[in-house]
Structure 1
Amino acid sequence: MKSKHLIVVSVDALVFEDLEYAKTLPMFGKILREGSMVERVKTIYPSLTHPVHASLLTGCPAGVTGIVSNTHFTPGNLESPWYNRLEEIRCETIFHAAKRAGLSTASCRWPVTANGGDCIDYLVPEVLPADMAGHEDNPIQAYINTGTSECLLDIVTEALKRYGHGNDHPAYDEFQIYCAAEIFRRFRPNLLFTHPGYVDHMRHNTGLFNERVNASIKETDRWISMLWNAAAETGLENDTDIIILSDHGQLGISRTVCPNVFLRDAGYIQADEQDHLVSWDAYALSCGLSAQVYLSHPEDSALYNSVRDSLEKMAAKKDWGTERVFTREEVKELYGLDGGFSFVLESDGVTSYSDEWAGPALRELDTSDYRFGHATHGHMPEKGPQPTMFAMGPSVRKGVIVPQGHILDHAATFAKILGIDFPQAQGKAAEFV
């Protein structure tokens, strides 16, 4: 029996509308012609990279994975640490299921996989700026600290020489694709995940649709060709399926507001004369186009009702850019989102949220932070341009077009292609597999 191989490429922020251009490119065009697709895929809430990528690995929404935002809730810290370690995911992943079935696994800069070597044989994790801090003169140490597989250190060392250790695009993407292709050539894993983010980066910096975004799609096509060439060079092209998917779309924004300034003015946040946070009764964590509002004592019904009334009054004032105030129970029922917060603010679609509690409530756009550029995400999944998914290979029937799917279907699709059991996945496998 021939071994099966699956390459999964998550092209961050790729949407269905991009395919009109993408189909003119060599590799995207090949997969779209020879494979099948789900045109539009509904993602999870919040539509943020790390929560979605945890859901892609598990087939479960954020309330089950525990990855409810990109960053942890750390009030008073405007540089909150990111969720990025595999152990932070509260349920099993496709890597665990594949290993249990005796398959080999690989991941190259896929979010929330750091220190995941117990179930990922060939791991190059996403190394964040906080991980690299203090190791700029010896960046390989940051990779070792975050769990890079020892057998890959020579590949990573070469990539560092070629592309540097920063998180700037497209060098960041060149680094990971070089590593991913080398991993496939050398070790031939049954399952390989990787995550180029150049398209997402260009949308944040320049807006939803323009020539610079198209240029990033063209570069991504070249990177996918590099991965496919690695399969061909190892003689495994006819035994390898490739899936191209995306995590979320984006919405164009025109401003940023600070709900914590509102909460401070309403008496729920206290700060000293230097604006250092002293105490808080209610505090909002920015998720880009949504925000999660935590209470110091969520069991206090008087506080709960007071904050809810205040947030509803804020939402009624259009200056605050808030379309809706959800309760925790409402987002759990609607989207499977659950956590320690009590409320979720949903933006009006043109306003992003900041964590700031000091200074003006309204801010200009700032491309130094993904939440505050010309476009961003974190919004309700039914809004705006939708992510897409298409696939090609021996397990994929040709020419099937599915109009609508759900991102929780993807993990079940991976499992079906690999021929493994993964019953926790809440979705169903794509019908063309």
Structure 2
Amino acid sequence: MAKRKVYLISFDAFGYEDVAFASKLPNFKRLLEKGTWVKKVQSTYPSLTYVAHTSIMTGLLPLHHQIVNNTKIQPERHSPDWHWYAKEVQGETLYDVFKRAGYKTASLLWPVMGRNKSIDYNLAEIIPNRPWQNQAMVSLAASSIPFLLKMEARHGHKRDGIQQPALDYFLEGVLLDTIRDYNPDFVTAHFLQLDSMRHYYGVNSEQAKQAIIDFDGRLGRIIQLLEDMGQWEDCLFVLVGDHYQLNTHTVVRPNHLLSRQPGWQTLGRDGTIKSWQVYCKGADGCAYIYRKPGAKITVKEILDTLRPMMPMIETVYTAQEAADFGADPNCLFMIEAKKGYYFLDDLAGDFQESVDNPTSDAKLLHATHGYHPARNHYATTAFYHGPDVKVGHAVETGRLIDHAPTILSALKLNFHQYVDGNVLYDIFR
């Protein structure tokens, strides 16, 4: 018996607020009319790409899958490593479940899936982060080598590093060829143009609108191929956002304040933090405060030190509150940025820096994410289409952690573990 195909496409930074515009475009309109729209989907906390995509893939909150930030705690490095490899994920992924059920799997630039043994055709999302590395070296080490070489030969000319929209044109070509030539049963792909345009030009910039228009075209070409192959009406097609973004005007670097206290941090000549007792790990719209075990520094002392930041902080969350939201329970506490602000953990620029008038060489962001997922006008969204999915239907709310169990429910498959998410039964007929 033929397996039902499943296509899970991520449109990074696409949110509920975008649907009013996107619904006027032909292919988004088609999904709205012919499938089910999950209107307001709650992201993770922090609402960061790697954290969110791991929750989509596992049905787990960050404190359970343990990808609690995009990057690792490596203050001694100018550029900390990202969580690129699947071995870092605690718990099963959808790839594991599908592979166990005999499905052929493909993953195209899906975060935190490098070297995943349950993926047959893997184009890992990874960048070189050491002086002696290049893109080819790290991609080959994390991906399916014959598959990568073939796709690079065909589509590599479209790419310009990680620059957009070139990267998404490259990914589109790889995705279409993967479906056409390899015909996997479970396919995921992660498109980033909108996220990049919002970061550098703002949430409602013309560049962001163009990214939505461009993606609608990509969506149409994907659907057309599935129709040509006789798959469209029988497959489960899921389009998800991972988070939204909010506009910014100022970046804040809390470690400038922490490093002024004697004995709290030791700075290197290169401007990095070589050792620490208290450290702020940024997550853009929020930040973790960590304290080394045994350090005799009180929460009050840390908050007093951060007092100059209080006009920029919306909320301070205790470690228990952070854990209740699904964030890292190992932090001492978390700080949530006020509207317009975001946090970085480096010391490369001033304590405060205007994104419009930077005083450093850092690439500052005109919009970002990472904020608490319950912030106003910050929900992401999702669309489902398939033979068992209701037509022209809408579900008011959902969570990223609900996607994985919902997808598996449609195929009568299950995780061999507890998951935090629930099946969105109202999607199905």
* Alpha-carbon distance in 1 for matches of 2:269, 2:31: 59
After TM superposition, the structure 1 = structure 2 runs for residues 272-311 of structure 1, keeping only pairs within 5 Å, are: 275-297=271-293, 299-300=294-295, 302-310=296-304
* Alpha-carbon distance in 2 for matches of 1:11, 1:369: 29
* Alpha-carbon distance in 1 for matches of 2:384, 2:203: 24
Matched, 1:336 2:326: yes
Aligned length in residues: 422
State the SS of the aligned residue for 2:388.
Answer: coil
Matched, 1:325 2:316: yes
Q: 1:279 to 1:122 in 2, by over 3 A?
A: closer
* Alpha-carbon distance in 1 for matches of 2:343, 2:185: 41
State the SS of the aligned residue for 1:10.
Answer: strand
- Check conservation: 2:75, 2:274, Cα contact below 8 A: no
In the TM superposition, what whole-angstrom CA distance separates every residue of 1:18-75 from its partner, at most 9, and x where no partner exists? 1112112221111111111111001110000000000000000110111010000012
1:234 to partner: Cα distance: 2.1
After TM superposition, the structure 1 = structure 2 runs for residues 14-413 of structure 1, keeping only pairs within 5 Å, are: 14-116=14-116, 118-130=117-129, 134-135=133-134, 139=136, 141-160=137-156, 162-164=157-159, 166-267=161-262, 268-271=264-267, 275-297=271-293, 299-300=294-295, 302-310=296-304, 313-315=307-309, 317-318=310-311, 321-333=312-324, 335-357=325-347, 360-365=350-355, 372-383=364-375, 384-413=377-406
* Alpha-carbon distance in 2 for matches of 1:59, 1:359: 38
* Alpha-carbon distance in 1 for matches of 2:210, 2:348: 38
1:279 to partner: Cα distance: 3.3
Moved more, 228-237 or 77-86: 228-237
For normalisation by structure 1, the TM-score amounts to: 0.91
- Check conservation: 1:261, 1:358, Cα contact below 8 A: no
Q: Which amino acid aligns with 1:238?
A: E
Q: 1:19 to 1:77 in 2, by over 3 A?
A: same
State the SS of the aligned residue for 2:331.
Answer: coil
Q: 1:312 to 1:135 in 2, by over 3 A?
A: closer
In structure 1, what is the equivalent of residue 3 of structure 2?
3
In structure 1, what is the equivalent of residue 409 of structure 2?
416
* Alpha-carbon distance in 2 for matches of 1:55, 1:413: 13
Q: 1:265 to 1:93 in 2, by over 3 A?
A: same
1:308 to partner: Cα distance: 4.1
* Alpha-carbon distance in 1 for matches of 2:198, 2:299: 38
Moved more, 85-94 or 357-366: 357-366
Q: 1:428 aligns with which of 403, 422, 425?
A: 422
State the SS of the aligned residue for 1:382.
Answer: coil
Q: Which amino acid aligns with 2:14?
A: L
In the TM superposition, what whole-angstrom CA distance separates every residue of 1:142-188 from its partner, at most 9, and x where no partner exists? 4221122524531232111x313500111111111211111111122
Q: 1:226 to 1:201 in 2, by over 3 A?
A: same
Identity between Structure 1 and Structure 2 (%): 27
State the SS of the aligned residue for 2:427.
Answer: coil
Q: Which amino acid aligns with 2:355?
A: L
- Check conservation: 2:78, 2:272, Cα contact below 8 A: no
Q: 1:263 to 1:102 in 2, by over 3 A?
A: same
State the SS of the aligned residue for 1:45.
Answer: coil
Q: 1:355 to 1:78 in 2, by over 3 A?
A: farther
- 5+ unaligned residues in a row in structure 2: which ranges? none
Q: 1:181 to 1:304 in 2, by over 3 A?
A: farther
1:370 to partner: Cα distance: 10
In the TM superposition, what whole-angstrom CA distance separates every residue of 1:382-428 from its partner, at most 9, and x where no partner exists? 11321011111212111221111111111111111232112533222
For normalisation by structure 2, the TM-score amounts to: 0.92
Please tell me the root mean square deviation across aligned C-alpha atoms, in Å.
2.3
State the SS of the aligned residue for 2:90.
Answer: coil
1:236 to partner: Cα distance: 1.6
- Check conservation: 1:59, 1:409, Cα contact below 8 A: yes
State the SS of the aligned residue for 1:254.
Answer: strand
In the TM superposition, what whole-angstrom CA distance separates every residue of 1:177-218 from its partner, at most 9, and x where no partner exists? 211111111122121110101111111111111322111001
Q: Which amino acid aligns with 1:241?
A: L
